[in-house]
């Protein structure tokens, strides 16, 4: 990648699906059947974002909106923006691509009226934990044995300021 290579940050399209699935399998142990990607996309297309160079997908993030108890107070219910997955191909990392993906996806969730944002991340995943801290997410708790290999997860979350709600 040269300095001039334009990286496009745009909403996922179904023609990107095979490449997104490939990146997910290459980069993460949490893999999903094709229909899961399609469902996430159909529920909130504006929060499923890809990074592309031409027609090549080099990273993606997908998210959904869930309604339920707040992670901050069991006395409150509301809309929560859940980042389900994010990955950037190894050769394109540390160039700010995940930051651009997450920013677009968060903006879409906020536009959708979420009160808070949250996600789960492996406790050993320093890169991702730092990325989320950069966006103001904080570690709320550790969920023991969350993953299939029994690694624990951090539940990280961030409140959306009321003036950002639509
Ligand atoms: C986590 C991941 C998506 C980051 O993608 P990226 O495009 O390299 O991230 P960015 O370049 O946008 O970095 C944003 C911030 O994340 C943090 N970060 C990213 N990579 C890091 C690393 N290797 N070590 C420590 N912090 C890191 C930094 O705070 C960075 O900000 P800075 O560059 O200003 O210091 C990427 O490493 C990846 O795909 N990992 C495998 C999949 C994965 O673990 N996904 C997360 C599952 S919860």
Q: Whose CA is nearest to atom 16 of ligand 1?
A: 131
* Domain membership flag for residue 58: yes
**Residue 91 resides in a domain:** yes
Q: How far apart are CA 147 and CA 113, in angstroms?
A: 29
CB 113 within 8 A of CB 166: yes
Q: Is residue 78 part of a domain?
A: yes
Q: How far is the CA of 79 from the centre of ligand 1 (A)?
A: 27
Residue 108 lies in a domain: yes
Closest of 43, 55, 54 to residue 18, by C-alpha? 55
- The CATH number of the domain holding residue 119 is 3.40.630.30
Q: Is residue 38 part of a domain?
A: yes
Write down the residue that tokens 């050993």 correspond to: 124
Residue 136 lies in a domain: yes
**Does 2 fall in a domain?**
no
CA distance 120 to 157: 9
- The domain in which residue 148 lies consists of 8-164
Paired strand residues for 121: 154
Instruction: Return per-residue pLDDT of the chain as tens, 166 residues.
Output: 555 679 999 999 999 999 999 999 999 999 999 999 999 999 999 999 999 999 999 999 999 999 999 999 888 999 999 999 999 999 999 999 999 999 999 999 999 999 999 999 999 999 999 999 999 999 999 999 999 999 999 999 999 987 776 5
Residue 3 domain-assigned? no
For the chain, the domain total comes to: 1
Asked if residue 13 has its Cβ within 6 Å of ligand 1, the reply is no
């Amino acid at each position: 990648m040269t300095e001039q290579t334009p990286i496009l940050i745009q909403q996922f399209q179904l023609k990107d699906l095979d490449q997104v699935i490939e990146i997910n399998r290459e980069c993460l142990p949490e893999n999903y059947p094709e229909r899961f990607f399609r469902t996430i996309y159909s529920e909130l297309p504006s929060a499923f974002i890809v990074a592309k160079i031409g027609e090549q997908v080099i990273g993606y993030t997908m998210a959904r909106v869930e309604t339920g108890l707040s992670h901050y107070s069991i006395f409150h219910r509301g809309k929560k923006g859940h980042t389900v997955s994010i990955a950037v191909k190894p050769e394109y990392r540390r160039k700010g691509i995940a930051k651009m993906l997450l920013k677009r996806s968060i903006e879409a969730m906020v536009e959708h009226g979420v009160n808070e944002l949250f996600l789960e991340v492996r406790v050993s995943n320093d890169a991702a934990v730092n990325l989320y801290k950069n966006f103001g997410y904080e570690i709320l708790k550790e969920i023991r044995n969350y993953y299939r290999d029994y690694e624990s997860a951090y539940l990280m979350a961030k409140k959306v300021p009321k003036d950002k709600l639509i």
